[in-house]
């Protein structure tokens, strides 16, 4: 019996060497196994035929049966296109192709009946479908059941590959005897306990479902399997690492911590802040290395918690460092922490790419002799020349902005044992995603804002409201407040976006001619950017026109208005981060989302979420539902163990919990995966994860 995992796809009927090369390059399908696990992303009922006169133009996809009435070409060169008129007897719809015009003209005619499948839209008041799938209207193509639709790349479409073509190849691979006798990946007790469909049957029904119920059972089985092995890999690593990784023992909370808490701290800690400090104290006193993720919404007080955790390291004669992704954010941390540290006799310094050589020499020397206790900085902290006498705690802020190799280099800063690691994020992560992506870390959440903070009022406005928006901003300025006006600056439209920013800057200066206006964007020289930021931070500039460089690390309590232009071009999490720049003082603050009037349904919903809640965790949940976890800022670098074929972290929270429980139960019985099934699953894990980095070691 051939091994599906290692049988080259070129030997499958209908493929061959050239198609095999294309499938590998475009879809990563190299073997029979890869094709089996290339699942449909949706299903259509081929027995359902829609009518053209019933179409609204906003359907996800439709299936039409009829004939082409006419074919015409239009445009020249790259703009050449083929336009056809298609009729089903109830009405007509325009069909457009922009590629393979000559080939399509030869393939289709006006005498034959066809089935079209595609997404309709309305352009210039005419219904149309662009690049539909086209099949002959015979009995084989109109079946009484569900048929999978497969994702394709533009290159495959241009090479005449359709979803139907993938479907036919899947039918061929499912017909091979090896699929019927494929080895079960899950122990029988798990299959029985959770009433899961056997693997061979699930693979058959995920591609060729015999019914809606069979499809749902197949999806459950394959999602559970995928998530079970993801959780098993994480949990098995944690159990192993907890035995292997010895940590520095911070056995006492001493003078530095108590002096700060009793004599310097100006406000009471929230219950959530106290809880997470206790969690970290327990970790660092356990004798095992702490690996903890600290989540907290904007303004929840993560910096104070991080500083007090660092004081525990100092009380045990160790040093601490805080690494931030930008000089602005590192400088902000220094500004917050230095006066607090100096009040209790703790020496703090800042090291960035801009630090002069003379200052660097002093920092290096005082680090090695232990005189410098807390070092704050950027990537400069991980340079080989930076050596600590006794680094006990590494704090990494906005950790998703650092690559794995960068974070790993902090480990080499202590020769006896790795430092305790605390990673922080101000971008709240939904619990299901945190459980899986950061499953190798313990998670602490500051889910309580300091008392007295007023929630930011957020409103959605459109171009006709611009004059009123300017009036409102002017009123806030007259009351002594300051305002941000943010424009998108996105790489693929660099020149256009920069032009819009500069135009906006001139318009704002004209409208608010009695006030000073500063401007900041990422393409400025650092010195100029810092100067403009300083003008706003000190109140010498009343308005800051900026891009998302102000997303983190800018703290101006007097700023009470955040205007976000072209808000539809930002993701939810980014909008929430920008909104977090206001509401930092005692005054009521406002966030105004300026967007086009003709917003799509999903875009409008996304912006309305912002007007309905200030809770970053609710925003993050909605963001993941709308965009999926792979698009969320940070997950590509944060440690998601492998590409998910079928499970959806936004929608499958219950299955994630079931899979995690099942993995925990199994490891209690067979912690070393040494039983017969344990060894089988270890081999399967190796196949799944061999090509993946082990993120767990480095948070």
What are the residues facing 133 on neighbouring strands?
117
Question: What is the dihedral angle through the alpha carbons of 78, 107, 152, 172, rounded to the nearest 10 degrees?
Answer: -160
- Contact residues for 325 (Cβ-Cβ < 8 A; gap 6+): 378, 397, 398, 401, 402
CA geometry: angle 150, 154, 155, nearest 5 deg: 105
Q: What is the pLDDT of residues 586-624, one digit of tens each?
A: 789 999 999 988 888 888 998 999 999 988 878 877 877
Percent of the chain residues past pLDDT 70, beyond the cut: 87
Q: What mean pLDDT do residues 160-187 have? A: 89
| Whether 517 contacts 505, CB under 8 Å | yes
**Domain boundaries along the sequence of the chain:** 48-142, 255-446, 457-613
Is pLDDT at 693 greater than 50 in this prediction? no
Fold matches, 255-446 and 457-613: yes
Look at residue 102 in the predicted model and tell me its pLDDT: 84
Query: If you average pLDDT over every residue of the chain, what do you get?
Result: 86
- Mean pLDDT is lowest, of 255-269, 437-451, 513-527, for 437-451
Closest of 335, 292, 340, 283 to residue 313, by C-alpha: 283
Is pLDDT at 5 greater than 90 in this prediction? no
Q: How far apart are CA 388 and CA 373, in angstroms?
A: 9
CB-CB neighbours of 361 under 10 Å = 11
- pTM of whole model > 0.85? no
- CATH number of 48-142: 3.40.50.261, 2.40.50.140, 2.40.110.10, 2.60.40.650? 2.40.50.140
Is pLDDT at 489 greater than 80 in this prediction? no
DSSP 541: -
496 CB-contact burial (10 Å; exposed 0-12 / middle 13-18 / buried 19+): exposed
Cite the DSSP H helix spans in 316-380. Answer: 327-342, 357-368
- Mean pLDDT is lowest, of 84-88, 398-402, 501-505, for 398-402
Look at residue 529 in the predicted model and tell me its pLDDT: 85
Q: What is the pLDDT of residues 528-542, one digit of tens each?
A: 888 898 899 899 999
| Whether 461 contacts 594, CB under 8 Å | yes
| Whether 666 contacts 680, CB under 8 Å | no
Position 634 confidence tier, pLDDT thresholds 50, 70, 90: very low
Judged by DSSP in three states, 6 sits in helix
Q: How far apart are CA 589 and CA 204, in angstroms?
A: 56
Q: What mean pLDDT do residues 295-315 have? A: 91
Q: How far apart are CA 284 and CA 3, in angstroms?
A: 48
- CATH number of 457-613: 3.40.1280.10, 3.40.50.10090, 3.40.50.720, 3.40.50.300? 3.40.50.300
Q: How far apart are CA 640 and CA 538, in angstroms?
A: 42
Q: How far apart are CA 225 and CA 201, in angstroms?
A: 14
DSSP 264: I
Judged by DSSP in three states, 640 sits in coil
Sheet holding 374-377, edge to edge: 348-351, 374-377, 319-323, 391-397, 420-425, 291-296, 442-446
CA 117 to chain centre: 32
- Contact residues for 463 (Cβ-Cβ < 8 A; gap 6+): 594, 596, 597
Position 563 confidence tier, pLDDT thresholds 50, 70, 90: very high
255-446 belongs to CATH 3.40.50.300: yes
Is pLDDT at 694 greater than 50 in this prediction? no
Token pair for residue 646? 């079928």
Is pLDDT at 451 greater than 80 in this prediction? no
Q: CA of 292: how far to CAs of 136, 235, 375, 394, 475, in Å? A: 58, 15, 20, 11, 45
Q: What is the pLDDT of residues 250-292, one digit of tens each?
A: 999 999 999 999 999 988 999 999 999 999 999 999 988 888 8
Position 636 confidence tier, pLDDT thresholds 50, 70, 90: very low
Judged by DSSP in three states, 261 sits in helix
Q: What mean pLDDT do residues 65-88 have? A: 90
Position 56 confidence tier, pLDDT thresholds 50, 70, 90: confident
Closest of 150, 68, 75 to residue 115, by C-alpha: 68
What are the residues facing 294 on neighbouring strands?
424, 444
DSSP 441: S
Q: Identify the residue with better confidence: 493 or 383.
A: 383
DSSP 8: B
Look at residue 502 in the predicted model and tell me its pLDDT: 86
Most confidently modeled range among 100-109, 192-201, 424-433, 445-454 = 192-201
Look at residue 552 in the predicted model and tell me its pLDDT: 58
Q: How far apart are CA 365 and CA 107, in angstroms?
A: 77
Q: Identify the residue with better confidence: 490 or 510.
A: 510
Q: How far apart are CA 392 and CA 383, in angstroms?
A: 18
DSSP 78: G
| Whether 39 contacts 148, CB under 8 Å | yes
Closest of 134, 119, 124, 130 to residue 57, by C-alpha: 119
Look at residue 79 in the predicted model and tell me its pLDDT: 79
């Amino acid at each position: 019996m051939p091994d599906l995992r290692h049988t080259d796809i070129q030997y499958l009927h209908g493929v061959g060497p050239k198609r095999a090369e294309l499938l590998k390059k475009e879809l990563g399908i190299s073997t029979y196994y890869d094709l089996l696990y290339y699942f449909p992303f949706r299903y259509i009922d081929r027995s359902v035929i829609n009518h053209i006169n019933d179409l609204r133009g906003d359907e996800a996809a439709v299936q039409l049966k009829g004939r082409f009435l006419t074919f015409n070409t239009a445009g020249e060169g790259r703009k050449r296109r083929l336009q056809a008129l298609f009729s089903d007897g109830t009405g007509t719809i325009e069909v457009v192709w922009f590629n393979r015009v000559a080939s399509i003209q030869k393939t289709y005619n006006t005498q034959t009946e066809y089935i079209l499948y595609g997404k309709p839209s309305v352009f210039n008041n005419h219904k149309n479908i662009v690049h539909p799938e086209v099949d002959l209207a015979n009995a084989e193509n109109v079946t009484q059941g569900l048929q999978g639709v497969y994702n394709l790349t533009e290159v495959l479409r241009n090479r005449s590959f359709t979803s139907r073509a993938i479907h036919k190849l899947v039918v061929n691979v499912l017909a091979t005897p090896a699929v019927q006798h494929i080895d079960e990946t899950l122990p029988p007790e798990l299959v029985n306990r959770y009433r899961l469909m056997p693997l061979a049957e699930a693979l058959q029904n995920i591609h060729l479902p015999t019914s809606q119920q069979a499809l749902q059972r197949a999806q459950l089985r394959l999602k559970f399997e995928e998530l079970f092995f993801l959780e098993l890999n994480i949990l098995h690593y944690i159990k192993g690492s907890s035995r292997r990784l010895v940590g520095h023992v911070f056995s006492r909370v001493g003078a530095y911590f108590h002096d700060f808490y009793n004599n310097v701290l100006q406000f009471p800690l929230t219950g959530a802040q106290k809880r997470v400090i206790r969690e970290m104290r327990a970790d660092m006193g356990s004798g095992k290395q702490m690996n903890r993720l600290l989540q907290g919404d904007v303004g929840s007080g993560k910096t104070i918690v991080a500083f007090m955790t660092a004081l525990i390291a100092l009380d045990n004669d160790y040093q601490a460092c805080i690494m931030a992704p930008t000089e602005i954010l590192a400088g902000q941390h220094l500004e917050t922490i230095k006066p607090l540290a100096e009040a209790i006799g703790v020496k703090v310094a800042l090291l960035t790419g801009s630090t002069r050589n003379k200052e660097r020499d002093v920092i290096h020397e005082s680090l090695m002799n232990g005189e410098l206790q807390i070092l704050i900085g950027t990537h400069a902290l991980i340079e080989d020349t930076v050596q600590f006498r006794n680094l006990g705690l590494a704090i990494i802020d906005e950790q998703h902005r650092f690559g794995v190799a960068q974070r790993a280099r902090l480990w080499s800063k202590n020769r006896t044992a790795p430092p305790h690691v605390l990673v922080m994020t101000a971008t709240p992560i939904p619990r299901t995603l945190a459980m899986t992506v950061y499953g190798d870390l313990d998670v602490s959440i500051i889910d309580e804002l300091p008392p007295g903070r007023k929630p930011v009022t957020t409103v959605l406005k459109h171009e006709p409201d611009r004059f009123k928006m300017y009036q409102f901003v002017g009123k806030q300025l007259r009351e002594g407040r300051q305002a941000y006006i943010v424009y998108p600056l996105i790489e693929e439209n660099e020149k256009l976006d920069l032009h819009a920013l500069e135009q906006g800057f001139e318009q704002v200066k004209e409208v608010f001619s009695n006030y000073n206006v500063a401007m900041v964007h990422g393409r400025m020289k650092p010195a100029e950017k810092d100067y403009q930021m300083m003008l706003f931070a000190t109140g010498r500039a009343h308005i800051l026109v900026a891009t998302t460089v102000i997303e983190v690390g800018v703290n101006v309590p007097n700023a009470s208005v955040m205007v976000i232009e072209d808000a539809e071009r930002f993701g939810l999490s980014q909008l929430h981060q920008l909104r977090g720049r206001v509401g930092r003082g005692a005054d009521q603050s406002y966030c105004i989302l300026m967007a086009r009037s003709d917003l799509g349904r999903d875009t409008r919903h996304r912006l309305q979420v912002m007007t309905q809640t200030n809770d970053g965790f609710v925003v993050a949940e909605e963001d993941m539902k709308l965009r999926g976890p792979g698009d969320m800022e940070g997950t590509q670098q944060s440690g998601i163990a492998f590409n998910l074929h079928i499970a959806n972290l936004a929608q499958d929270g219950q299955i994630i919990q079931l899979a995690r429980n099942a993995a925990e139960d199994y490891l209690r019985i067979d912690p070393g995966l040494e039983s017969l099934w344990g060894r089988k699953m270890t081999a399967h894990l190796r196949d799944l994860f061999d090509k993946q980095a082990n993120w767990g070691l480095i948070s």
